[in-house]
Every structure is written in structure tokens, then in C-alpha cells.
A = this chain, B = another copy of it.
Amino acid sequence: MFFERIKTPGIAQVAYILAADGDALVVDPCRDVQRYLTILQNSSLRLRYVVQTHRHEDFEMGGAALRQLTGAEIVAGKHDIFRHADVRLGDGETLQLGTLTLRALHTPGHTPESMCYAIYLAANPELAWGVFTGDALFIGDTGRTDLPAADKAVENAGRLYDALHDKVFPLGDQTLVFPAHGAGSACGGQVADRDDSTIGIERVSNAAATMGREAFVRYKGHEQHARPPYFRVMEQVNLDGGRALDERPVPWLPPQSFRELSQTGVVIDTREAEAFAGGHIASAYSIWLAGLSRYGGWITDPVSLYLVVDEPGQLHEARLALARIGHDNVAGALANGFSAWRAAGQAIETSGTITPAQLNAASGHYTVLDVREAGEFEAGHIPAAQHVFVGELAHWLGEMALDTDTPLAVTCSVGHRSSFGVSILKRHGYSNVSNLLGGMTAWHRLGLPIDRPGT
């Protein structure tokens, strides 16, 4: 038996390779499939199936690419949405992989078509060894239930609760839990930062198990999650299992070419917040490298993307991070990084940084914008801070009558999203904008004043 987790950072995604007797299946692959193929190749495994738990909305799927390259069959549930699947399993139906048995469990709630797949070893055909839970059950959380329709979130939370209690928890405490996402996913807000769990552990630590149905439905049905616009694109392309990755190299552009070409597109600067503040290209978005998959999806301008990275090796990573959420329009990267821009005498802008102590001392002077998600804001924020999620900041600015000279301090949890916020504000003409370094994490640690609305 062969079993391996393959994690994708940025979208906090986990795919799995399971194999027995030389035959393998991959569960929920991303579209950059070469890494799965390398593992299969190095272990002399032949890919037979790509197993899909549901149509993902937060990343582009790799099923179609794997089928194309290997001839593997796509396995999914019976819901209409899986029209492109080769093998469709109804609730309770099984699939054999060597000596292993997969049993399909229909577990709607996150999405109507969501499936889990319990795994049984030959030696104990009655007792589940593990279960692929997709976005139904995470470690410490469940999938969000607002995706199919925001106004059905409560109803879907009930469905999810029932599916888990009727089909997944009964697999028994001994069952290993293999979800599609880990901590930091856009599909669940409270996912624990560990990779190994069992049904028994979830039964005492997961709200879906420790709460009663009513409480859970209320809690889960009213969670507030951001919904980046690229989700709509994923909904379409994933109907057919995702598109093949564009493997053409992104051209490196010297400063002058970069400046000229990027006029008709959008610059994304992937350096850290302090580097962006110390000097950047006018109109650039600031999205740190590890946040590209999560926040790049909020940029919807249907235009070419031009990247600034710290090291040449990061271009591949940045481009993959964008491709994973379907952004294939990376048209160039700044050759030799920002120091080349600097040395070319190209125009440079700076933005401000401010420490918690400084902001606290000058609190009256600044309008504080807190760009975290609503739930984070509600759990405690700087007194008088205004809340607007960074993904909605551009839209919000259009509706506000804020003076562009207003001294603004932008905050989030540690300073990454606030740098994105600063860059959006500068694009909209706000000139006096500072990033609160360390954000609310530092603010809390320093014991500075907090407003907790609920208390």
C-alpha cells in the first residue's frame, strides 16, 4: 500500500495518492499535475483513477489534465455536475483498487454534489481505515455552506450536519480523516493547523460534532466568508475538470520594457510589506508571494499581469500560485528585480509604515481601516477602526466620500493584507497611507486598547 499527502500552499489544499498492487488513484488534484506524475513515476505506480470529492470553487482542478496525460478515469458521484466523470458512484457504491475498497458517501451541504469516500482494507472489510472528506469535514472545522447560495447557507448547514452525523461520524473513531483543505483555506475559517486526525478526535473537537444540530446550523449558517470573484470562473472551468497548465515561460522584461508594457496591464509586487513601503512601482498591487493564490483572485481586471519578485526562482512559484486560481494571463516579470528598476532610474513611490505604539500615541490623527474579514474584526479591533475587507476595498472606496489627503492607517492581522490595502488605496489616489506593522497581532501582544463589539 502506498499513501501520500501532496499539499499545495496558498490554497491550503491537500491531494492524496493512494495505491495498492501497482495501481494508483489521486484524490482532488490541482491543475499543476507534474508533481503527482513524478511521485507515481518514482514509485512505479500506474494511475488508474482521479477521484473527485466535488467541484472545487477555490482552485482549478487537475482531473482533465491527468486523464489526458495518463488515460486515468475520473471517478465522482452521480450528481449532474459530474457530467464529465467516467465512473459515477452512487451513495454506498464501491470502487476496487487492488485489495482496497473505496465506498462513496453522498455528503451534500458544502455543495450539493459533495462526496466523501471511505477506504477499507482487505483485512477488515467492515471497518473504515480512512475517509477522504473533501470539503465536507476539515480538521477542526467543516466546509462553508454559503457557496451554492448565500441565502441557503443555513439550510445547507443543516444538510451538512445531517450528512456528517448520518454517514461520516458513524465510520467510527478509528477512521483516519483526509480532508481537501488545511488551515488557511478560503473554504473554511477555523481549520486546525495539523494534518493528522481521526473521526474520534473530531468528535470531541469539531463544532459539527460537539454542537447540537440547531446550534451548529446557526453558527455555520451565519459565518461570513469572503467570496473572491475568480470563484465564478472556477465554477465554469471545473465543470470539465479544469484546463491544462500553460507551460510557456514568462518573459523577463528589463525596466523600460516592463514599464511600457505594464501600462496596459496590472503590476503585482510580491515582495514583503516593508520592501513595498520602502519603494515600489506606481499603481502596483502589493500581494506577498504566499498570499497570491488567496488574494490574487480579487484582481479581476481582464488584463495582463506583470510581476515583481525578489528572486528569479520565485517567478515560477508566483506564476503557479496564480495559475492555480485560473489566472493564466501573466505577461512578464521585472528582470533582476526591483534593484534593476531602482538602478534604471525609473520612478519610485514609497508608502508609510507605522508601529502600534506610534499609532496608539497618535490615534486621533489617523483614520484606521481594518481590512480583515468580518469575523476577525468582530472578535476585537482598534477603537474607532472602520471595517472593510481588503477584497472589497476598491468597491467600498467608490462609495465613500473620503478625502484623499486623510491620514489613513491600514491594519490586518500581521501586515500582509494591509499592504495589499495600502496599494489599493494608493491606486485610488490616497496619498497619506501607512501600513500598521505587525497588525492586530502586535497590537494585542502590546496590550493596546481593543473594542470587542460583542462584549
Q: Judge whether A437 is part of the interface by a CB distance below 8 angstroms.
A: yes
Given that A276-B278, A277-B278, A312-B42 are known contacts, is A442 also in contact with B343, CB under 8 Å in the complex?
yes
- Residue A9, interface by CB 8 Å: no
Check B201 against A200 for contact (C-beta < 8 Å). no
Within the complex, what minimum Cβ distance (angstroms) separates A296 from chain B? 19
Nearest chain B CB to A12's CB is how many angstroms away?
14
Cross-chain contact B194 with A174 (CB below 8 angstroms): no
Across the interface, which residues of B come within 8 angstroms of A41, CB to CB?
A: 249, 252, 312, 315-316
Interface stretch, picked from A76-84, A227-235, A348-356, A424-432, is: A348-356
A342 within 8 A of B: yes
Q: Contact check: which of B3, B44, B71, B414 meets A312 at CB < 8 Å?
A: B44
> CB-CB < 8 A to A339: which residues of B?
272-273, 414-416
Q: Which of A122-130, A149-157, A216-224, A397-405 contacts B (4 or more CB under 8 A)?
A: A122-130
Q: Are B249 and A70 in contact (CB under 8 A)?
A: yes
Write the nearest CB–CB distance from A148 to chain B, whole angstroms: 30
B-chain residues with CB within 8 Å of residue A344 when the two chains form the complex: 438, 441-442, 445
Contacting A40 at CB < 8 Å: which of B194, B249, B279, B355?
Answer: B249
In the docked arrangement, what's the CA distance between A416 and B127, Å? 36
Question: Across the interface, do B442 and A345 meet the contact criterion of CB distance under 8 Å?
Answer: yes
Asked if B273 and A44 make an inter-chain contact with CB atoms under 8 angstroms apart, the answer reads no
Give min CB distance, A416 to chain B, whole Å. Answer: 7
Bound complex: CA A193 to CA B33 (Å):
26
- Cβ of A88 within 8 Å of any chain B Cβ, yes or no, is no
A201 proximity list for chain B (CB < 8 A): 124, 127, 129, 174
Using Cβ atoms and an 8 Å threshold, which residues of chain B touch A42?
Answer: 312-313
- A110-131 interface mask toward B, CB cutoff 8 Å, 1 = contact, 0 = none? 0000000000010110010110
Partner of A199, one of B174, B205, B278, B313: B174
Most buried by B among A40, A342, A413: A342
A22 B278 Cβ-Cβ under 8 A: no
What is the size, in residues, of chain A's interface with B at 8 Å between Cβ atoms? 93
Asked if B176 and A203 make an inter-chain contact with CB atoms under 8 angstroms apart, the answer reads: no
- Pick from B3, B198, B336, B347: contact of A200, CB under 8 Å: B198
- Determine the chain B residues whose CB is within 8 A of the CB of A280 once the complex forms: 274
**Judging by beta carbons under 8 Å apart, are A342 and B442 in contact?**
yes
- From 314 to 365 in chain A, residues with beta carbon under 8 angstroms from any chain B beta carbon are 315-316, 335-339, 341-348, 350, 353, 355-357
Contacts of A277 in B (CB 8 A): 274, 277-279
Q: Do residues B343 and A127 form an inter-chain contact, with CB atoms below 8 A?
A: no
- Subset of 7 A-B contacts with CB under 8 Å: A22-B336, A70-B251, A121-B205, A176-B198, A274-B279, A274-B338, A346-B438
Interface residues of A (CB under 8 A from B): 1, 3, 21-22, 37, 40-47, 69-71, 121, 123-124, 127, 129-130, 172-176, 192-201, 203-205, 247-249, 251-254, 271-280, 310, 312-313, 315-316, 335-339, 341-348, 350, 353, 355-357, 413-416, 437-439, 441-446
Using A1-B192, A345-B445 as known contacts, list a sample of 17 further A-B pairs with CB atoms less than 8 Å apart, ordered by residue number in A: A3-B195, A22-B254, A69-B247, A70-B251, A127-B204, A129-B196, A130-B196, A173-B174, A271-B274, A272-B310, A273-B342, A278-B278, A310-B310, A339-B416, A342-B439, A342-B442, A344-B438
